[in-house]
Structures are given as C-alpha cells and as structure tokens.
Structure 1
Amino acid sequence: MPAEAATAVDNAHLLVVDDDARLRALLQRFLSEQGFRVSIAADAAAARAQLAAVAFDLVVLDVMMPGETGLELVESLRRDGKDVPVLMLTARGGPEDRVAGFEMGADDYLGKPFEPRELALRIRTILRRVAPPAQPLTAAPVQLGMRWFDAERSELRGPEGTVRLTGGEAALLHALARRAGDVLSREEIATALGTPEAGERAIDVQVTRLRRKIEPDPREPRYLHTVRHRGYVLRPGP
C-alpha cells in the first residue's frame, strides 16, 4: 500500500461506543497506541451528538447497550443516509447475530471476547476498503441501466445524482464490477471484502442490500444475478 494511503488509515478518527466504561478506556488507550485518533461515547445518544459534530472515519459500536441498541443506532444512521463505516461488537456471536448486524447496515462484526490486535486489523481492513484509490483507475464506469458505477471514486451515480452506498455496499459492487460477467462464489466475495470468515447468509444479506440500490425491481434482478449453487454475477447493461 502506498505510504500516503497507509498514513491515512493509521491517522483515522474512530468513535468507540460502548456502555462498559472499562472497555471504553481500554480500547481508547490501545487504539491510540495503534496510531488512531479515538473519541468515545457511552451510549447511542452521546454517539449521535458526536456524529452530528464530527466526520468520523469509522465507528466501533457495541450491540447490547441500555436504551437504544447498537443495531437500532446503525439502522437509523443508514436510514438517514449516513454511510460512515461501522464495526459492531457483541457478546452474541452466532451466525444469526452477524446476519442481523449486516441487515442493519454494519460493515463488519466481531464477537466478544476478542483479541485487540484482531480488532485493529479489522479496522484497518475496512478503512483500506473504503479509502479512495491512491492511483487513478483505468476501468471505465460500469452501466447499470440509468445508473453508472465509477470504480475510481467508488460512487454510484444516476439521474438523481450520487446514490449513497455504505462502505460494504461500495466494496461489494467494486469487487463484482472488476470481474463483471464472471460468477463469483460467496467465498471469493467474502475474501474480496476482507471478511473471509463471513458466512454465506451474511454475503446474501449484503447482496440484497446492494440490489436495493442498483435494481429497478430488486425482486427481479436485471444486473446482479444469483447463479444457483455457484454464487453471484454482475451483468452490466442499459
């Protein structure tokens, strides 16, 4: 990775949201030692106030908090068009819990207890995934009906202007667009997204969310097709 991109990742400003004061303090100290700028919030209300005032690069968000949960907060952020990347933390690490997080719009999911170094690695993976490319790409924009995906900027544009994509949605579309016409297995997609441990259901959820952004009728896909027993393929066109 170019030095400029590495510096941007390491200097990222994170917001850690957790009702456990001890864990907040530990994460703030550890992530600061890793080179990140770190702010903290004890609950969803405090997080909202900070998100309204500061453009954070990523949010580390606990799921189980008193009052508004982390799942409810990330769902509200996505509904309001806020695409800040979100990594969710939870003591409930079953597949159905990961799926719930992805359905709400999370970019990654880490179960408690966790190894702090793995958390830092996942944060850097997400930040690299959503960062603008250091070098201009030569690939032409991909046509999806009345919309076009600009891989250079990871932007989806249409007659209505720029369509908001979460970091995970943009990364998924980028991976599919790079190999447009090729069938990608769910394992290949998970690896391209930097989440090789993601289950099949989690990938299916991400595809469903992306279809809502690119398909005229997500129930009858024209561009992002399911290939039975094999995976998914993006077929651009008018």
Structure 2
Amino acid sequence: MNTKPVPTDLSHILLVDDDSRLRNLLDKYLTKNGFRVTCAADSVQARKFLGIFEFDMILLDVMMPGETGLELTKYLRAFKTVPILLLTAMNETEDRILGLETGADDYLSKPFEPRELLLRIENILRRVKLEDQITRNEEVFQFGPYRFDLRSNLLYRGPIMTKLTESETVILRAFVASPGTVLSRDDLSKLDSSNVNTRTIDVQITRLRKKIEDDPKFPRYLQTIRGQGYVFKLGL
C-alpha cells in the first residue's frame, strides 16, 4: 500500500495480485498516470482495505492462493457495484465468460500491455461517471421548447407528446446528463446493448434529430464534432 500523501480527488483503484513484481509495476504506472492506488497481495488484505476505503475500481487477479478473484468478485457483487476488471493468465473463452457471469465488468488476459490496461480503466470509469450523471439528473429536463420527462421517457413540445424508442431514450438521457460534453460513438454504444456498432449510433442520432430539431440537416441541439462524436448544446 502506498504511504505517501496523494490528492483525494484522484480515482482510487484497489489492485489485488499475489505477484509482487507485477503489483509494484502497475502501482507505479497507474500512479504516474493520475490514479490513487492501494495494493493488496490477496483477498484477505483486499477485504481489509474494502472495509476502510471507498474505491472507484478494483483490478483483481483471478488465480490467487486462498480465496480466488472469482470468489471475491461473487462476494462483492452481493453488496457493491464498484467496477471490477479481472486480470488472469487463463485465456480460454469459457474462463472469460465465467468471470463476466460472476459480475466482473471486464477481463484482461496476462501478459498485457500497460497501455491497454490504462485504456480499459479509463473507458470503464468514463462509462460509470456518465451513468451516475444520468441517475442524478432531474426528473424533467428542459431545452428550448422541449420538456423531456425522465420518469416516463416522453418528450413534449408544448402539449404535443413524442414517444421515443428505447435506444433514442438512452441516447437522449446521456446527452442531457452532460450538455456541452462530447460523447463518442463508442461511449454511446456501451450504454445501449442493442447498438452493437458505431453505424447503428449514427442511425439513432439521425432519427433523434428528426424528433428534436426544426431542421435536422442543420441541428441546433444535437451537433456533430467531426472525428470525435456528438455534443448536446442547449442553445438560446
């Protein structure tokens, strides 16, 4: 465990692995890249730290002496929603499926490039932040002449009601939770399991624009940021 003072606003990661060399390497790498890291050598230490600190994410080795990573994941999922990324030397499809069925959010096989691990961590934390923002949002969101009722998923323009599809609702909820923030196609596809590729997202955006824009070809609210994704602008 790190003993030097670290800023408390950094994302806090619990790293659990019985390989001390890998633990130390990842501790240094993640700390260098802007994370607060607490290290544990096994599930016993991990449980101790989980009782003391709040973590934003857990990196968990599967094959450890004593309680395995899968067993700890199953235990944690009974009362915690913290994202879990499993690290393992096993590379069989069935093993990965078992890890995900147990409740893990992602699975990375050893050996791996630290950069890939960093990208997976950032993607998961970005998704969790976006979902939290959506949850915290007010029940009714207003933009221009529109009112979006987050309880019923209905869109109103004055007294006229427009019903949104499930995919359109997911996308609009994401945008109203983060107005002014660029959301990539990948960000949006991860929020809706029915949108399996980025092309599907483009189609949904086009359909949504027809429902909220006076001129969908020149959108006022749902604008394209070339090479990055889309941004929701409130306008005047």
Residue 127 of structure 1 pairs with residue 143 of structure 2: no
- Correspondence for 1:22: 21
- Correspondence for 1:103: 101
| SS class of match (1:72) | helix
- Correspondence for 1:116: 114
Deviations 1:200-224 (A, max 9, x none): xxxxxxxxxxxxxxxxxxxxxxxxx
1:99–1:78 Cα change, 3 Å: same
- The AA in structure 2 aligned to 1:140 is D
1:143–1:117 Cα change, 3 Å: same
1:74–1:85 Cα change, 3 Å: same
State which of 140, 143, 149 in structure 1 corresponds to 2:149: 140
Residue 75 of structure 1 pairs with residue 74 of structure 2: yes
Q: Is the 8 A contact 2:189 2:197 kept in 1?
A: no
Mapped partners of 2:48, 2:98: distance in 1: 25
Mapped partners of 1:78, 1:67: distance in 2: 19
Deviations 1:91-123 (A, max 9, x none): 012211111111110001000000001101100
1:130–1:26 Cα change, 3 Å: same
- Correspondence for 1:184: 194
Mapped partners of 1:111, 1:98: distance in 2: 9
1:119–1:68 Cα change, 3 Å: same
- The AA in structure 1 aligned to 2:150 is P
| SS class of match (1:31) | helix
State percent identity of aligned pairs. 50
- Correspondence for 2:89: 91
**1:174 positional shift:** 8.2
State the structure with bigger RCO (CA 8 A, min sep 6), 1 or 2.
1
CA root-mean-square deviation: 3.3
- Correspondence for 2:45: 46
| SS class of match (2:29) | helix
| SS class of match (1:65) | coil
| Unmatched runs of 5 consecutive residues or more in structure 2 | 1-6, 142-147, 154-169, 175-186, 202-236
| SS class of match (2:111) | coil
**1:143 positional shift:** 5.8
Normalising by structure 1, we get a TM-score of: 0.56
Structure having the higher Rg: 2
Aligned residues: 152
1:173–1:76 Cα change, 3 Å: farther
Mapped partners of 2:31, 2:64: distance in 1: 23
Decide which moves more: 39-48 or 90-99: 90-99
Mapped partners of 1:59, 1:108: distance in 2: 11
